[in-house]
Structure 1
C-alpha cells in the first residue's frame, strides 16, 4: 500500500499506481499492504490529529517540507486487536469503493470516446504541433489562441452535433458565487468552506469560516450540481476546467466563487459529467477562457459549447455507470470517515489518557 503525503495522507491507489509521484509528495511504502495494522496506521495519519502530527515534522519558512527522520519517528496509537480489525475493514471498504468509482467513471467516458466524432475531436485536440485555424464565423472573443490550441474541436463537434450545453441546463443553470471575506473560526461556530483545490481532492478537507452575509444559493450548491474549476492557469494538470459532482462533498459546505456552478436537467446530469470530464470535454471548457495571468470562463461561450446526443441505450448505460460510481465513492467516503471517527473517539482518548 502506498500513501501519498502532501498536506495529508491520500488513499487513491488506482490513480497513483504505476505513475510518477512528483518531488513535492512523499510516498510511504508499508511492508505489508494487506496487514490490518498498516491500514490502521493509515486511518490514524488521515485523522485530524494525525494530520497535525505530520505537519509537526515540517521545516522551513514560506514553503514547508517534511523531515523524513521525524516522520519515521511518529508514534502510532496502541489499540485492541478488535478495534484494529474494525478500522482495517473500513479502510479496505474505502479503497475498493474508490477503485470501483474510478472504473465506472472510465467506462462511462469510453462509451462517449468510442464514437467517430469524439475520436476525431480527440485526435484534433491532442496533436502537439504548431497550427493555424481559418475562421470565418462570428468573433465573440479575441482569445483566438485558446480556440486554435484545441484544434478547432468547437467547430468540428458543432457541425456534427445539433445540441449545445445550454439545451440540457435548467433556467439560469450556470453561475459563479460572489467574492467575500473569509474569516476563520472554530467549531461549533461557522461553516465548512472548500477552496477550488479542496473541491477536487479525493477527500476534501476545507476550513472553518464565519458564515458570510450573502445569499445561500450563491454560497452553497445543490447536491445534483456539477462543479467546474473556472479560474486558474491553462497548463496541463491544472484544475482549470476540472469537473466534479457536488454530491461528493461540495453540497455540505460553502464553495469558493472560483467554482462554477452548473445545474443540468436531471436526465442529463450524468451525461454532462461524463462528457465534460473527458479529454475532449476539458479542451472545450478551456476554449471558453478569457484573461491573461489568471484566465476565467466566459459563460456565454460555455453555454454554446457543442453537446453530445447519444442514443437512448447509450445514454442509459452512461447514466448507470456514473450513478454506480457516485454510489461507490460516497460509500467509500463514509467508510473512511467512520474509520477516522473510531481513531478520534475510541483510540486517542484511551491512548493519551
Structure 2
C-alpha cells in the first residue's frame, strides 16, 4: 500500500505532466524559519553544520508524513554572497544579505562572476547538498538549492528601489549587472549537477521582485533572463515561486517555460490556472497568515472550500505560499489529509 508521501508525489508529478489525478496534491515551500520553529535548532548550527541541518529537516518532515524533500538551505543569500553582498544575521539568527557598494556603471563592470566553490554561501550550500546526498535515508529525496531570480539577485545587490529606477534610467548598468548574476547562477547550477547528477529534476526560482515591473517590461526584461539561465539545462523543469502581486503578469508565466508556479493569496486558484492557459501547475489557494491562526477544524473547512474552488482542475495544487513558517504542524497535516481524502469526480 502506498504512503501519503508517495501518493502526494505522484499526484504532483501527474499534475505537472498534465495527466489525470485522483486527488489534488499538496505543495509547501519549507525553509529555515520553518525548520527552526518546529525543531528548535540553533540557526547558526543549522546553516553551518550539514549534519545538524539534515537532522532538523528529517525531524520536522517526519511529523508531516515526510511530504516534502530534503534541500540545502542558506536562505536567499547564496548568489549575492559571492558577488559583494554583505551577509548578516539578526538577533534571532535569521540570515539576509545587504546590498553591495554599487553606485554607477563603473562599479558594476568591476564585479566578476562568482566562483560557487569560493568563500561564499554557494560553497556552503554545495557542502550541505553533498552531505545530504551521502546521508539521505532510503525513501527520501534531495532537491537542488533554489535559485533566486536574476532580477531579484541584482536588486538585492544594488538596492531594490535604485535597481527598479535603473531599469528606466540606467539600462546599460542593469544589463551588465544581470549578466554577471546569470553567469554566477549557471556555474552554481552546474556545480549542483555534479553532485545530484544531470539533469537536475527541477530548479525552484524565487523571484518575487520581478513582479514590480509592468507587463511589457516583464516580457522584455525578465522572460529572456529565464531562457538564458536555463539554456544549459534544457531537460530541467523550471518551477517558480512568486507570491507577490502578480495579477498583471499571470499570462506571462507560461512564456517563462515554467512547469509549476507557487502564487500568492492575492489570486484565486482558477484565476491563476486559467490565466496561465492551464499550461502550468499552479500551487496556492491558502493564505499562510490566516492558516497560522486556524484551529484544525477551521483548517479542514478552509481546505475543503479551496479544493471546491479548484472545480476538479488537475492543474491546481493545494498550497500556502509565503510565510508558512508559523503554521502549526497539525494544520499542515490537516491540509495533507483533506487533499488525500477528497477524490476528484471522473
Which structure would you say has the larger Rg?
A: 1
Higher relative contact order (CA 8 A, sep 6+): 1
TM interval, short-chain normalised: under 0.3
Q: TM-score, normalised by structure 2?
A: 0.24
Q: TM-score, normalised by structure 1?
A: 0.24
Higher-helix-fraction structure:
2
